[in-house]
Amino acid sequence: MKNSKLGVLMVGLNGATANTTVAGCYLIRKKLAPAYGLMTNEPLFAKHQLVKLDQLVFGGWDFANRDAARVADQQGVIPPALLNKVTGDLKKLKPMPGVTTAHDVDLFRRQKHAHKTNSLGKKLELLIANIERFKKTHRLDKTVVVFTGSPLKQFKPGSLHQNIKSFKQALARNHADITSGMLYALAAIETGSPFIDFTTNTTLEVKALVDYAKSKKVPLAGKDGKTGQTMIKTALAQLLKIKNLKLTGWYSTNLLGNPDGQILSLPEYGQNKFKDKLGVLQPILKYSDFDHSVDIKYYGPRGDNKEAWDNIDFLGWLGQPMTMKINWLGRDSILAAPLIIDLVRLMENAQRKGRGGLQTHLAFFFKNPLGAKPQGLFKEYQILEKLYA
Amino acid sequence: MKNSKLGVLMVGLNGATANTTVAGCYLIRKKLAPAYGLMTNEPLFAKHQLVKLDQLVFGGWDFANRDAARVADQQGVIPPALLNKVTGDLKKLKPMPGVTTAHDVDLFRRQKHAHKTNSLGKKLELLIANIERFKKTHRLDKTVVVFTGSPLKQFKPGSLHQNIKSFKQALARNHADITSGMLYALAAIETGSPFIDFTTNTTLEVKALVDYAKSKKVPLAGKDGKTGQTMIKTALAQLLKIKNLKLTGWYSTNLLGNPDGQILSLPEYGQNKFKDKLGVLQPILKYSDFDHSVDIKYYGPRGDNKEAWDNIDFLGWLGQPMTMKINWLGRDSILAAPLIIDLVRLMENAQRKGRGGLQTHLAFFFKNPLGAKPQGLFKEYQILEKLYA
Amino acid sequence: MKNSKLGVLMVGLNGATANTTVAGCYLIRKKLAPAYGLMTNEPLFAKHQLVKLDQLVFGGWDFANRDAARVADQQGVIPPALLNKVTGDLKKLKPMPGVTTAHDVDLFRRQKHAHKTNSLGKKLELLIANIERFKKTHRLDKTVVVFTGSPLKQFKPGSLHQNIKSFKQALARNHADITSGMLYALAAIETGSPFIDFTTNTTLEVKALVDYAKSKKVPLAGKDGKTGQTMIKTALAQLLKIKNLKLTGWYSTNLLGNPDGQILSLPEYGQNKFKDKLGVLQPILKYSDFDHSVDIKYYGPRGDNKEAWDNIDFLGWLGQPMTMKINWLGRDSILAAPLIIDLVRLMENAQRKGRGGLQTHLAFFFKNPLGAKPQGLFKEYQILEKLYA
Amino acid sequence: MKNSKLGVLMVGLNGATANTTVAGCYLIRKKLAPAYGLMTNEPLFAKHQLVKLDQLVFGGWDFANRDAARVADQQGVIPPALLNKVTGDLKKLKPMPGVTTAHDVDLFRRQKHAHKTNSLGKKLELLIANIERFKKTHRLDKTVVVFTGSPLKQFKPGSLHQNIKSFKQALARNHADITSGMLYALAAIETGSPFIDFTTNTTLEVKALVDYAKSKKVPLAGKDGKTGQTMIKTALAQLLKIKNLKLTGWYSTNLLGNPDGQILSLPEYGQNKFKDKLGVLQPILKYSDFDHSVDIKYYGPRGDNKEAWDNIDFLGWLGQPMTMKINWLGRDSILAAPLIIDLVRLMENAQRKGRGGLQTHLAFFFKNPLGAKPQGLFKEYQILEKLYA
């Protein structure tokens, strides 16, 4: 992408992930901080004219009507000494009011900064209008929409989600099985904006939306960003596979102290996340006779600094048991932010190359790569290598 | 390799690595224990007719004149209940007397089970005769020689090691800069036997031997089997590289309770090992501004169960620090044994394909892959994949 | 206790704890294994003529009618090479049939080796007869009864449990609120046998039993043996208290692969255990504004080797945060067995000294010391020191 | 101590420990931060009228002539947001020039802010004059001197150190075996100031000084503050002892990124520290047949945040092996600062009670408690309890 600008509209603009993404880009543009973690800065991608950080224009929706400077200050992810240098820019960034349905966490539905209508059709129209106005205001040719909102209540797609016609009819009837995530995705598709679901929601498991995006040449990608523990897990599982070491047990526990942790510790919101986290081993190892358990615990003292502990039991030569333990002291938003930018760049590139529908070559980035299966982190990287070498 | 047998002659036959390799093969052939850890059993290699475990005939040299059953019993690597089932076979396996030079650990030079001559030329002849007799006795077409002996004193190749002519002249003069390892390697080359150095010795850094083997189409491979901590390290370092996370420090410590640990804790024997362990990060990461330290400690309570602890510090987005810690409870011989078999199979295959000299495509298996540079475990695996796919 | 013998009757004789206790005593008597972990062997207790290991005669109840040799062999806690040396003695040890009520785990209620009557009164009589017969057969003056059975369903004492009269009336009416644990305790009291509850059951929270035992000068002690993670926790919590370091969070997770782990992972059986484990910090620290969470996970690969991981967050000078993490690789039965013997010895001693009712000076041994509050491991040790110095 | 002020003079005033002590007191007095870690704030000491934080007046010596505000800013131990609130006070605090001898680290001897004379006698006089002037300036009755300087070169006391007469004669002759630490200690004794050696130096192993202080009723205490890993070690070792669990191996490694770490990684400066760290187990356990090793590694990324990893192997019932691993993420100065204040308070109290010479009742605070032997952390606490209850 040569000279024009690219809009990046994030759902959950005031969440730690989106906020750290934006503030980080501002700092990096000013050369005040390094862009470590940004994979697409590596030589492999050099000749593909990916969109530059300078070309990105940020915006988005949130239920909390605060500017990005106040949000960053409260979250404390970025040290104050750094943050102070972009306070001016961040103050200008305020979210548009979002949309909710019954699947949103109660906490957020009660928030005031949301479109007031009860009509799903009206909500969709408002989102589409939001995107178009953002383009016009900033004189953009293109936008990418990224879902980084809170987890929605668990949900199973039914017959109305099978094709776009029945889906739109249901939408017109205000059907209860249409989530806010789907409204954002549809608004993106209708406006020709690539849509990324960085969360664990079922949005892009809706066949109607996937087929529709494909027909309109709009790229989609999801789901559930592979940031920390699961990223390591898919790397080590591939290692066990290559080396023919037999896994017998993998116990993973997570301590999270941010609002995400609080919501995910509620069973109806956390179950998808567990499914995503538990689902990665069998496809890589090609067997399933092992103990696999994943715990997520809300634990205040940790804040945004996520901690994970993994215990891995495996058998080697003659069935003799060995063990490996990992203590991961990562930082959720610090790990997620560069992935968001990587995905925005690669999705814009995919759209330029005429690719629509689920972008399975981006499996590397997701715990549950829709349209593909987890294959192991390095195998997934080889797919990117082949495409971009 | 279709029907004939393959001889496997190991230097240090009574060491835990060689003993566990042999006892393990006997158990696996009888279907009494699984061959986990044996990479060449994976589908990738299926169509290449690698030599089967049934086709291997074991022998070797050692300074301790004990049969393999007694050795296995003392080492306690394999549980007695398993071991008992192959005691008969192991009793029949006794080492030939080995050769030593001034570089061997004093402990071993004092051992009685060694060829008595002081002439290097005579020692070489005896080794060649050992190999030829072994072939005749067991009606073998081919043998592979594997060095799994104890670490030799540190050594730097000089001008006499530059070509085979000067090397042989020096050998004839009983030159002090020729080690026992080189004698084994030369005996292997002269008898057309592929030679693997699984230890950290400088043997295959001798240009004279490498060129000579190339000219005689004898495959060589080394050095220092990548079994545990360093294997994981080269996997994770590649991960950091791919993800553009900036390493700032890597602290590794090792607790070893076996005789190897005792020798490696002596500076003059351990230094090569440190060099091998420390040398892997820079070539993978392409930068060197990080703290890297490796400790090896002899620690009695651990026995053959090696323990490692790694602390890895790295920077992500905006230079924010994160940490990962790994506690590895591996088992040295259990990890090494299948690698030995993998290497024997792949070296025999390389010889069949007409390849001589250093087999750089086997970098995956070595801490310090001679003729190549560490590239990261998965990149090294891709080299194998390309060759065998 | 000078020359006579002491009977030790264990409920759950075929459980790993009881079995390892008995087999261990047999081995130690024959000087085939050391008595490490046995606190009462330390000089502090030397002059108090505690009962000797040679004086103990073991017996007990279980629903599985197998001899102790078979049980030990299956459990694999003690290495076969050791176990073989006491097989003869263990073969002679078979459990008496036990009693159950609706609170027992279904699994056990379905077992056949139990007294068949439905009358609680009859069950009690049978247990009393069992004890008396055991004394007679082995010519014993005294017995101690130790409850090491499986966790019972959670239960809350009501008005009928307030005094022995209403309790016995309820028992006569086959009241549903009387558990098998209470029957064993009452049988012990009626026969003048000290009773120890090593499990998390509510048995000794029944006031009727405690008062009755006091009146009959029968010592009682419980509950929930402090073997591993909680033992360490009560030591470190006292350390934090002494040093005025402010706890902000303590996350504990447990991996258990034995049958106990399976039952405790069921909420209705595990809740008491959680209460015991969670209840120790506040009384030691004297504040409660911290995150405390405990997980117990059934995890097959671990077997009887219990693993725990603790993450402890605390504040020091100026409120600056620090962290300590503990990985505990203990062994449940190996830790529990010497505590059982310690308790048997000290309870016999208490009875000799004329003490009845709850023995609060034994708080050191229990997660939830009945009649006392957790005070920290070393403070609890001081109580013993004062008494025995 | 009722109303008067107490001077606290620290050697190494610009080191992180002293700086964090002073800045912390300023913050706590203003109620801007909590005094966690300060043991003497606990109820045990309430009725003893220990000196209050408000009563302390700080000063000291250092080779770097910078004010305490700049130092604190550079060290980054205290977060800027807190630090800013006492910048004014800290700016006023500047060190007096110190004294050096040949035992000081070259790095520091080259520093310019030191008394220029070569005469030891002159140096002593200057230090005494410093103390007296400080008292006069601040109208103080008493001062305490605390050595928190860098480790000095290893040193073994000889005959001249046996009594004060020969010591003073040697001093007059500028004898090479008198260290700067001894000069500070003697200056303290001559001015009637209690002297605390918080470092690993041999200062208070000099019999001449100890006897002299005793005769002058000046309390002394040392050596090597028990802040982190060794504190935990002496607690857990006591636990093993009490529980009769048999230690077989204890491996400790330390990562330090502050200047102390750099000096301690040099063998001639680090050896005392190793001796202090290694010496604690045998006196507590009363046996020595175990592997004990301690490593200290300079590791840049850690900064003042000290990290330790301990692996503890022990045997339980029947000699069965178990293991415990501890990962300690402490902060050197944050742990040390409150101990300094505790010691100052207790030493002032000891002086008021007329106690001179080595204060063995303060063993709790030191790795190598001079005049006593390590007994286990909680046993050492009992000594305090008895004295202050």
D309 — contact with chain B (CB < 8 Å)? yes
D79 — contact with chain A (CB < 8 Å)? no
**Distance from the D80 Cα atom to the nearest Cα atom in chain A, whole angstroms:** 9
Q: Which residues pair with A255 in a beta bridge?
A: A297, A307
Of D248, D307, D325, the CB nearest to B301: D248
Q: What are the percentages of helix, strand and coil residues in chain C, rounded to 5?
A: 50, 20, 35
Distance separating alpha carbons of residues A192 and B199, to the nearest angstrom: 60
Indicate if D229-329 has the same CATH topology as D6-225+334-388: no
Of C232, C320, C325, the CB nearest to D334: C320
Lowest mean pLDDT among A191-195, B189-193, B280-284, B294-298: B294-298
The more confident residue out of A361 and B155 is A361
Helix (H, G, I), strand (E, B) or coil at D265: coil
Asked if C211 and C357 touch (Cβ cutoff 8 Å), the reply is yes
Distance separating alpha carbons of residues C127 and C188, to the nearest angstrom: 9
Average pLDDT score over residue span B165-190: 95
Judge residue C338's burial from the number of C-beta atoms within 10 Å of its C-beta, 0-12 exposed, 13-18 middle, 19 or more buried: buried
pLDDT at B276 over 90: no
Binned at pLDDT 50, 70 and 90, residue D1 comes out as low
**Touching C: B residues 157-176, CB under 8 Å:** none
Three-class HEC string of C295-352: EEEECHHHCCCCEEEEEEEEECHHHCEEEEEEEEECCHHHHHHHHHHHHHHHHHHHHH
Q: Who contacts A13 (Cβ-Cβ below 8 Å, separation ≥6)? A: A19, A22, A58, A59, A60, A61, A62, A68, A93, A95
pLDDT at A106 over 90: no
Determine the pLDDT at residue B79.
Answer: 92
Average pLDDT score over residue span B18-25: 97
Q: What are phi and psi of C296, to 5 degrees?
A: -125, 125
**Distance from the B171 Cα atom to the nearest Cα atom in chain A, whole angstroms:** 40
The more confident residue out of C1 and B23 is B23
Q: Who contacts C129 (Cβ-Cβ below 8 Å, separation ≥6)? A: none
CA-wise closest residue to C326 among D242, D331, D328: D328
Q: Residue A308's closest chain B neighbor by CA?
A: B324
Helix (H, G, I), strand (E, B) or coil at A98: strand
Reported ipTM: 0.94
Average pLDDT score over residue span A282-306: 90
What superfamily does domain D6-225+334-388 belong to in CATH?
NAD(P)-binding Rossmann-like Domain (3.40.50.720)
pLDDT at B382 over 80: yes
The reply to whether residue C326 touches residue D328, judged by beta carbons under 8 angstroms, is no
Q: For chain A, which chains pass the contact test of at least 3 CB pairs under 8 Å?
A: B, C, D
Tokens of D284: 């507590």
Of A291, A297, A327, the CB nearest to C293: A297
Domain boundaries along the sequence of chain A: 6-225+334-388, 229-329
- CB count in 10 Å sphere of residue C16: 27
Predicted confidence (pLDDT) per residue in A149-189, tens digit: 988 887 788 899 999 999 999 999 999 899 999 999 999 99
Asked if C217 and C354 touch (Cβ cutoff 8 Å), the reply is yes
Asked if A175 and A160 touch (Cβ cutoff 8 Å), the reply is yes
Q: For chain D, which chains pass the contact test of at least 3 CB pairs under 8 Å?
A: A, B, C
Predicted TM-score (pTM) of the model is: 0.93
| Mutation site for C-interface testing, chosen from D310, D320, D345, D377 by largest number of C Cβ within 10 Å | D320
Binned at pLDDT 50, 70 and 90, residue B179 comes out as very high
- Per CB-CB distance under 8 Å, the chain D contacts of A327 are 327
Of C324, C326, C378, the CB nearest to D378: C378
Predicted confidence (pLDDT) per residue in D126-176, tens digit: 999 999 999 999 999 899 999 999 888 877 888 999 999 999 999 999 998
Asked if A114 and A129 touch (Cβ cutoff 8 Å), the reply is no
**Distance from the C81 Cα atom to the nearest Cα atom in chain D, whole angstroms:** 12
Tokens of A130: 């939001």
pLDDT at D363 over 80: yes
D367 — contact with chain B (CB < 8 Å)? no
Asked if B221 and B215 touch (Cβ cutoff 8 Å), the reply is no
Of A242, A316, A381, the CB nearest to B334: A316
Lowest mean pLDDT among B256-265, D1-10, D224-233: B256-265
Determine the pLDDT at residue B302.
Answer: 84
Determine the pLDDT at residue B155.
Answer: 78
The reply to whether residue C253 touches residue A309, judged by beta carbons under 8 angstroms, is yes
Ranges of residues in chain C with a pLDDT under 70 are 1-3, 107-111
The reply to whether residue D318 touches residue C244, judged by beta carbons under 8 angstroms, is no
Determine the pLDDT at residue A40.
Answer: 96
| Mutation site for C-interface testing, chosen from A256, A278, A291, A320 by largest number of C Cβ within 10 Å | A291
**Touching A: B residues 105-124, CB under 8 Å:** none
The more confident residue out of A299 and D24 is D24
Binned at pLDDT 50, 70 and 90, residue D115 comes out as confident
Q: Residue D329 carries which DSSP code?
A: E
Predicted confidence (pLDDT) per residue in B319-330, tens digit: 999 999 999 999
CA-wise closest residue to D199 among D137, D150, D129: D150
Based on C-alpha coordinates, what's the Rg of chain D? Answer: 20
- CB count in 10 Å sphere of residue A66: 15
Determine the pLDDT at residue D263.
Answer: 77
Predicted confidence (pLDDT) per residue in D5-40, tens digit: 999 999 999 999 999 999 999 999 999 999 999 999
Determine the pLDDT at residue A314.
Answer: 97
- Per CB-CB distance under 8 Å, the chain C contacts of D233 are none
- Cα angle at A165 between A161 and A168, to 5 degrees? 75
Judge residue D110's burial from the number of C-beta atoms within 10 Å of its C-beta, 0-12 exposed, 13-18 middle, 19 or more buried: exposed
Determine the pLDDT at residue D108.
Answer: 65
Determine the pLDDT at residue D110.
Answer: 67
Of B297, B325, B327, the CB nearest to D251: B297
Asked if D203 and D147 touch (Cβ cutoff 8 Å), the reply is yes
Q: For chain C, which chains pass the contact test of at least 3 CB pairs under 8 Å?
A: A, B, D
Distance separating alpha carbons of residues A125 and A127, to the nearest angstrom: 5
What superfamily does domain B229-329 belong to in CATH?
Dihydrodipicolinate Reductase; domain 2 (3.30.360.10)
Based on C-alpha coordinates, what's the Rg of chain B? Answer: 20
Binned at pLDDT 50, 70 and 90, residue A109 comes out as low
Tokens of B92: 């029949």
Of A232, A245, A331, the CB nearest to B320: A331
